[in-house]
Structure 1
Amino acid sequence: MSEIQTINGKEKMSINIGIADQHRKKIAEGLSKVLADSYMVYLKTHNYHWNVTGQLFHSLHEMFEEQYSELAEAIDEIAERIRAIGYRAPGSFREFSEITSIEEDSDQPDAMEMVRRLAVDHETILRTAREVLPACEEAGDEATIDLLTERLDVHSKTAWMLRSHLE
């Protein structure tokens, strides 16, 4: 049964979802990194969608749109999972910049370099997501494991498709 606690002079309902506080915190921190990486790749992919040129313009323009649309939905799901386990989801560019593993562009790459960079970025998200799994398994947090498993599948497939353009 959840209780009401007073924190900083405000009443707040405690969270009792069957996951210990220390596990929820560790999972939320890991998910925040996945969220930041995902958001940064979303921005980069959207930028590439707008700015791609060359012989492969049409196919890459459409592929990038599919990818950033999928990422937009995923970002929402990740942030909502962080909230569901009782933590604030980071939501500003500054916050994302501080915790992301994704490198921001400092130039305007050509089409094939865009593809290469996105392949590397999706592999980075895969590694970030895998880092959170042990904490989820230890806590018995099946919902987050399910979310991360789906993300692993999507990013693995996306990285493969991007790498295939480079062969």
Structure 2
Amino acid sequence: MITVSTDGSCLRNPGGAIGWAWANHDGTSASGGETSGTNQIAELMAVLEAVRAHPGDEPLRIEADSQYAIKCSSEWVHGWRRRGWRTAGGGPVQNLALVQAIDRAIAERSGPVTFTWVRGHRGDRFNERADELAGIAARAARDGLLPRPTTVADAATRPDGAAQPAARGLVVDTLF
């Protein structure tokens, strides 16, 4: 099983620079950010990028300190899809493009994806690493230090032609 911790950071919620990160328990990690967003967008971006970065049939467990990201990705999404991407109250789903992208990424992955909630800022080594990387990415986005995608079309389209949210400044690193 592959285990990955995810986290998001927003320097001023809403509207401040955001950062997202995942830290694989094998030591690899990635992060990126945008100049403006919300903490919820950052958390969802972390989950999306973690799923995309770990294709294949080996089970993937995502550990996150965001119950919102976990429930969007594994619980609420099923009802929203059944209701035509509307909430139980009939309103619009917040962060719909990201939720749909996560749903597609999980569906396209041959192996199962499960989620585990972990309490943030409690000394879990990988959660702390994801938190650190997300904060670094948010500050880099704020300061204009993250590279932009080559073109908007490149960033917004997957190889199969489907739309995807643009991730900015992907940085891959290792923990060890």
| TM-score strictly above 0.5 | no
TM-score for both structures, normalised by structure 1: 0.27
| Larger strand share, 1 or 2 | 2
Higher RCO, 1 or 2 (CA under 8 Å, sep at least 6)? 2
Higher helix share: 1
Q: TM-score, normalised by structure 2?
A: 0.26
